[in-house]
Amino acid sequence: MPNPSGTAIRLLITAGPTREYIDPVRFISNPSTGAIGYALATAAATRGHRVVLVSGPTHLSPPAGVRFVAVESAVQMQRQVNRFFPWAQAVIAAAAVGDYRPRRPARTKIKKENTRLRLDLMRNPDILEGLGQRKGAKILIGFALESANMRANARAKLEKKNLDLIVANRCSRRQSPFGSGRTSAVIIGRHAETYCAAVSKMRLAGIILDRMERLCYSLPASVPIRAAGARGTKKQSRQYTADKALKRPHS
Ligand code: C5P
């Protein structure tokens, strides 16, 4: 589908988990599959945008028409993101970046000689927060996976990281967005919220890109780009915009 203005957006996307090595063969990571980041990259390239995808290790193939940069650790991801940031007009940070890494990874494989093993961890850089501090006119979109107070916590991250939009997902033992086909999310902007209930990741990616295009092209929220939520039954895809933005220039 062509993009509405015909102008390609230079879009930097992060996806997948990071790996923080303890020794040469073991690492700390998380169950992120990269699905939403890859769906975003695929859909954005199909719309004619120019896409760089910086990805942690996943089982997915790099999408066609996308410049693909493979990384493992948060520090490597930060280096690549910083490399492409000056080029980008918009950034979508969909990666599940590890918050901590071993302070001194062992050079050789750790032997199971002791009954206990203590890991000394240090904070990883917050890649997106770093971009927020030198945002300029760029559009920044983040994700927030929350197990409690989802909307309040997501809003706090939107402010703290100086974002334009944040996509909030709920997670619990029974409800994990990792890898599942359908997902529910709230896309929170400064003046508008879009609720997406039980949508496919490809569908969610399309809705996020609609919001991103609106911001990049400075379109008022009242101008429809394309019929969001047009496909799928009401049960499959309940999506609407709480549009406080109608009084404002854009969301
Ligand atoms: O982990 P957290 O909930 O703070 O993640 C919110 C957003 O910040 C996500 O978009 C994630 O990709 C990004 N992030 C990051 N670098 C980190 C942690 C999170 O870019 N070290």
Among this protein's residues, is 3 annotated catalytic?
Answer: no
The token pair at 59 is: 């089982």
Angle at 36 between CA 33 and CA 37, to 5 degrees: 90
Q: What is the pLDDT of residues 221-231, one digit of tens each?
A: 665 554 333 33
Give the up-direction half-sphere exposure of residue 251: CA atoms within 13 A in the CB hemisphere: 26
Confidence of residue 170 (pLDDT cuts 50, 70, 90): confident
Is the domain 10-103+122-227+234-247 a CATH 3.40.50.10300 member?
Answer: yes
Q: Maximum CA pair distance of the chain?
A: 66
Instruction: Answer whether 237 contacts ligand 1 (Cβ < 6 A).
Output: no
* Distance in Å, CA 95 to ligand 1 centroid: 7
| Backbone dihedral angles phi then psi of residue 209, each to the nearest 5 degrees | -65, -35
Active-site pick, 30, 82, 153, 162: 30
Predicted TM-score (pTM) of this structure: 0.87
Please give the average per-residue pLDDT across 208-217, as a whole number.
95
Residue 185 CA to residue 210 CA, distance in Å, equals: 15
**Top mutation candidate among 127, 159, 208 for ligand 1, by most atoms within 8 Å of CB:** 127
Q: Which helix (H) or strand (E) holds 44?
A: helix 35-46
Angle at 28 between CA 24 and CA 34, to 5 degrees: 110
Quote the pLDDT of residue 243: 35
Q: What is the pLDDT of residues 49-103, one digit of tens each?
A: 999 999 999 999 999 999 999 999 999 999 999 999 999 999 999 999 999 999 9
* Distance in Å, CA 117 to ligand 1 centroid: 28
- Closest residue by Cα to atom 17, ligand 1, is 126
* Distance in Å, CA 133 to ligand 1 centroid: 14
Instruction: Answer whether 53 contacts ligand 1 (Cβ < 6 A).
Output: no
